[in-house]
């Protein structure tokens, strides 16, 4: 399984990351995790919240287009 990961935003005390990968079944579905991390003064994670969505490529495209408007 290939997991793609990138950081959307990072500033003192806060980071938002996204992880995504193709699920085994059903085909054509992707899992997206939006991970919000609260950081201490040494950039260690104090707490984290994760939000998971299952989407098709078309739905991901619509999400990206909506965010870019």
- The predicted structure's pLDDT at residue 37: 97
Contact 8, 17 (CB under 8 A): yes
Instruction: Please report where in the chains the tokens 């938002």 appear, as a residue.
Output: 16
Query: Does the domain formed by 4-68 have CATH 3.10.450?
Result: yes
Q: What is the mean pLDDT of each run of 10 residues along the chain (69 residues)?
A: 91 96 94 96 95 96 92
The whole-model pTM stands at 0.83
- The predicted structure's pLDDT at residue 2: 87
Residues sharing a CB contact under 8 Å with residue 50, sequence separation 6 or more, in sequence order: 33, 34, 35, 36
Closest alpha carbon to 14 in 39, 47, 32, 34: 39
The domains of the chain are located at 4-68
For 37, other C-beta atoms within 10 Å of its C-beta total 19
């Amino acid at each position: 399984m290939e997991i793609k990961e990138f950081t959307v935003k990072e500033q003192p005390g806060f980071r938002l990351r996204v992880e995504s990968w193709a699920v085994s079944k059903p085909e054509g579905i992707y899992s997206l995790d939006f991970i919000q991390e609260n950081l201490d003064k040494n950039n260690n994670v104090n707490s984290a919240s994760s939000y998971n969505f299952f989407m098709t490529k078309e739905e991901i495209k619509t999400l990206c287009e909506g965010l870019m408007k």
